[in-house]
């Protein structure tokens, strides 16, 4: 899978946390019994843990999985800074935050080979954020089988749904968006990406194993306070669109310049999903 820099992940974290649908997070907390054993797939710098841990009770054990050792090192540093108290525990950390005691371990693993190895410790929760639009439907099916075999709850947030509205309108909006969606369907290391169809694919896969599935909208709503994020988002979108050859380079560049101007806003659609296994 294409790499993501710690700087980009730090820039998007406030928007990610603000966008999460709180009703699903609350339902997730109700679905789990203490102590919570969680595996976070494609964890990046640990943003998903920081968002969820305040809702998951006083005793938590997390395994953070990523293919990039540099991101795991950044996760370790950011979590240590986030905690009210931190202690070393072998290769991991013990964090105290908001009355919760959170054990965290870090695992380098290439998930492209399949998700099964990441679930080897019988987690009660399997989670990820901003991941599944980058993977194939076959990979999603394999994940659902592995999660169901473990009897775990599954929760994911911020899966891109293909809906975008930039303001003010620009003549190239439709062409850039169509080209970006075409780029999203390419292989990011997991086979042909599901892109905006990912949440529907996840829902089908988990329902086929008897899971109860809920989904909810979690759009980014970006304005002047998120100017730096908008700047980077416009740059990445224009670059991806141009790479497809479906828009001319000068058209993509003109759109990028317009979208990095003051007064730009955007609503970028995402979906959150919670899947709870049937009663034993």
Question: How much is the average pLDDT of 62-71?
Answer: 97
> Do residues 97 and 72 lie in contact, with contact meaning Cβ atoms separated by under 8 Å?
no
What is the structure's pLDDT at 185? 85
Residue 122 clears pLDDT 90, i.e. is over it? no
Quickly state the pLDDT bin for 280 (edges 50, 70, 90): confident
User: Is CATH 3.40.50.150 the classification given to domain 6-162+191-220+271-276?
Assistant: yes
The helix (run of H) or strand (run of E) holding residue 91 is none
Q: Where residue 121 falls among pLDDT bands split at 50, 70, 90?
A: confident
Position 240 pLDDT exceeds 80:
yes
Give the mean model confidence (pLDDT) for residues 172-189: 92
How do residues 78-116 score in pLDDT, each as one tens digit? 999 999 999 999 889 999 999 999 999 999 999 998 999
Estimate the crossing angle of helix 6-19 against helix 227-243, to 10 degrees. Answer: 110
pLDDT for 3 equals 56
pLDDT of residue 57: 95
Look at 1-10, 137-146, 161-170, 210-219 and tell me which has the smallest mean pLDDT. Answer: 1-10
pLDDT at 2: 42
85-89 and 36-41 strand pairing: unpaired
Contacts (Cβ under 8 Å, ≥6 apart) of 271: 159, 161, 199, 215, 216, 217, 218
Bridge partner list, 89: 92
Average per-residue pLDDT in the chain? 95
Other residues' Cβ atoms within 10 Å of the Cβ of residue 145: 15
Least Cα distance to 222 among 14, 57, 8, 83 occurs for 14
Count of CA atoms in the C-beta half-sphere (13 A) of 124: 15
Write the DSSP assignment of 226-247 as a string of letters: GHHHHHHHHHHHHHHHHHTTSS
For helices 6-19 and 69-82, what crossing angle results, to 10°? Answer: 50
Please tell me the distance from the alpha carbon of residue 92 to that of residue 109, in angstroms, as a whole number.
16
Q: What residues does each domain of the chain span? A: 6-162+191-220+271-276
pTM of the model: 0.95
What is the maximal distance between C-alpha atoms in the chain?
Answer: 58
Reported as a pLDDT band with limits 50, 70 and 90, residue 257 is very high
């Amino acid at each position: 899978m294409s790499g993501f820099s710690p700087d980009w992940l730090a820039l998007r974290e406030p928007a990610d946390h603000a966008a999460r649908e709180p009703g699903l997070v609350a339902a997730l907390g109700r679905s789990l019994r203490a102590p919570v054993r969680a595996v976070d797939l494609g964890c990046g710098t640990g943003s998903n843990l920081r968002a969820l841990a305040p809702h998951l009770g006083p005793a938590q054990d997390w395994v953070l999985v990523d293919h990039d050792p540099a991101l795991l090192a950044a996760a370790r540093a950011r979590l240590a800074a986030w905690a009210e108290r931190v202690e070393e525990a072998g290769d991991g950390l013990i964090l105290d935050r908001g009355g919760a005691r959170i054990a965290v371990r870090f695992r380098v693993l290439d998930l492209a080979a399949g998700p099964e190895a990441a679930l080897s410790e019988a987690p009660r929760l399997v989670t990820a954020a901003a991941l599944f639009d980058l993977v194939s439907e076959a990979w999603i099916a394999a994940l659902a089988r592995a999660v169901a075999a473990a009897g775990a709850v599954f929760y994911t947030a911020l899966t891109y749904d293909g809906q975008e509205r930039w303001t003010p309108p620009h003549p190239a909006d439709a062409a850039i968006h169509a080209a970006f969606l075409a780029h999203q369907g390419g292989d990011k290391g997991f086979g042909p990406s599901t892109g905006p169809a990912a949440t529907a694919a996840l829902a089908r896969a988990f329902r086929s194993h008897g899971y109860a599935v809920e989904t909810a909208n979690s759009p980014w709503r970006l304005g002047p306070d998120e100017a730096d994020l908008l700047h980077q988002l416009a740059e990445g979108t224009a670059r991806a669109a141009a790479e497809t050859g479906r828009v001319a380079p000068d058209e993509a560049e003109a759109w990028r310049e317009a979208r990095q101007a003051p007064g730009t806003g955007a609503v970028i659609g995402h979906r959150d999903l919670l899947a709870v296994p049937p009663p034993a």
